[in-house]
C-alpha cells in the first residue's frame, strides 16, 4: 500500500486530525495575541518592565516542548484535559515573538513622527492608536506569522500527551516504524505551516505602511 492509498483510505480521520490541529493552533495563537500584544505595548510605556517581561518570555522559549507539557501536567483544571494543556503550552511558546515584535514595531516608528504627533497635542492613547500601532502593524503581523508557524510544528508534539492533532499519525508511525503513517501526519502539518506562512505573509505586506 503506498502513501496515497493510505491517505485516501483514511481521509476522514486525517481531515479530522487536521481540523483538530488547526483548532489547537488557532486558539493558542488567539490567546497569545490577546496577551502578547498588550504586554508588548506595556513595555514600551514602562521601560522598567522591559527586561523582566522579555526575559521571562525568552526563558519559556528555551524549555524543551515535551518538558513544558510535563511541567504543566500537575496544574489544576488545565492539567485535567490534554487539549487545555496543549493550548496553554502553545500559547506560552507563541508569546515571545508577539511581545518582541510589538515592542520593536512600536519602537521602530520614526521618532520624529511620534514627536510631531506629541507636539501637536495628541494624547498618549491617540498617539498609540492613530500613529504607533498603524505604523507598527506590519512588524506585529510578522510576529503573529512566526508564532503561528512555530505553533503548527509544536502542536504535533501535543499528541504525546494525548491532545490529538496530526501528531497522532507521526507518533503512531514512529511506533510502527511505518513511513507512510508518519507522512500522513507530517505532510498535512507541513502544508498547514506553509499555508499559514503564505497567508499571514500576504497580510503583513498589505498592512505594512509603504
Residue number, 138 or 164, with CB nearest to another protein: 138
Q: Closer CB to another protein, residue 195 or residue 207?
A: 207
Interacting residues toward another protein by CB under 8 A: 110, 112-113, 115-123, 126, 130-131, 134-135, 209-210
What's phi and psi for 110, nearest 5 deg? Answer: -45, 120
What's the min distance (Å) between Cβ of 207 and another protein? 10
**Nearest distance in Å: CB 46, another protein:** 18
Instruction: CB nearer to another protein: give 35 or 137.
Output: 137
- SS3 at position 1: coil
State in angstroms the smallest separation of the CB of 134 from another protein.
5
Q: Which of 149, 160, 159 is nearest to 197 (CA)?
A: 149
How many CA atoms lie less than 13 Å away from 111 in the CB half-sphere? 0
Residue with Cβ nearer another protein (60 or 122) = 122
Q: How many CA atoms lie within 13 A of 67 on its CB side?
A: 5
Burial of 196-205, coded b for 16+ CB within 10 Å and e otherwise, reads: beeebeebbe
Grid cell 510605556 is found at 45
Least distance (Å) between residue 208 CB and another protein: 10
What's 128's DSSP letter?
A: I
Tell me the three cell numbers of residue 88.
496553554
CB of 68 to another protein, least distance (A): 39
Name which of 53 and 142 has its Cβ closer to another protein. 142
Shortest distance, position 209 Cβ to another protein, whole Å:
5
If the CB atoms of residues 55 and 134 are measured against another protein, the closer one turns out to be 134
How many C-beta neighbours within 10 Å does residue 70 have?
A: 15
Residue that the C-alpha cell 522559549 belongs to: 61
Amino acid at each position: 500500500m503506498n502513501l496515497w492509498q493510505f491517505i485516501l483510505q483514511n481521509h476522514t480521520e486525517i481531515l479530522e486530525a487536521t481540523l483538530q490541529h488547526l483548532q489547537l493552533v488557532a486558539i493558542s495563537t488567539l490567546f497569545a495575541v490577546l496577551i502578547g500584544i498588550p504586554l508588548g505595548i506595556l513595555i514600551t510605556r514602562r521601560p522598567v518592565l522591559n527586561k523582566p517581561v522579555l526575559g521571562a518570555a525568552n526563558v519559556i522559549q528555551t524549555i524543551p516542548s515535551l518538558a513544558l507539557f510535563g511541567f504543566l501536567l500537575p496544574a489544576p483544571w488545565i492539567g485535567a484535559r490534554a487539549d487545555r494543556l496543549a493550548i496553554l503550552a502553545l500559547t506560552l511558546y507563541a508569546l515571545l515573538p508577539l511581545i518582541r515584535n510589538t515592542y520593536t514595531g512600536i519602537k521602530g516608528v520614526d521618532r520624529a513622527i511620534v514627536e510631531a504627533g506629541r507636539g501637536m497635542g495628541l494624547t498618549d492613547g491617540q498617539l498609540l492608536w492613530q500613529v504607533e500601532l498603524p505604523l507598527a502593524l506590519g512588524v506585529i503581523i510578522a510576529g503573529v506569522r512566526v508564532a503561528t508557524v512555530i505553533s503548527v510544528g509544536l502542536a504535533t508534539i501535543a499528541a504525546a500527551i494525548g491532545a490529538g492533532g496530526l501528531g497522532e499519525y507521526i507518533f503512531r508511525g514512529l511506533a510502527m516504524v511505518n513511513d507512510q503513517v508518519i507522512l500522513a501526519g507530517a505532510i498535512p502539518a507541513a502544508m498547514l505551516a506553509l499555508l499559514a506562512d503564505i497567508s499571514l505573509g500576504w497580510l503583513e505586506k498589505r498592512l505594512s505602511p509603504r
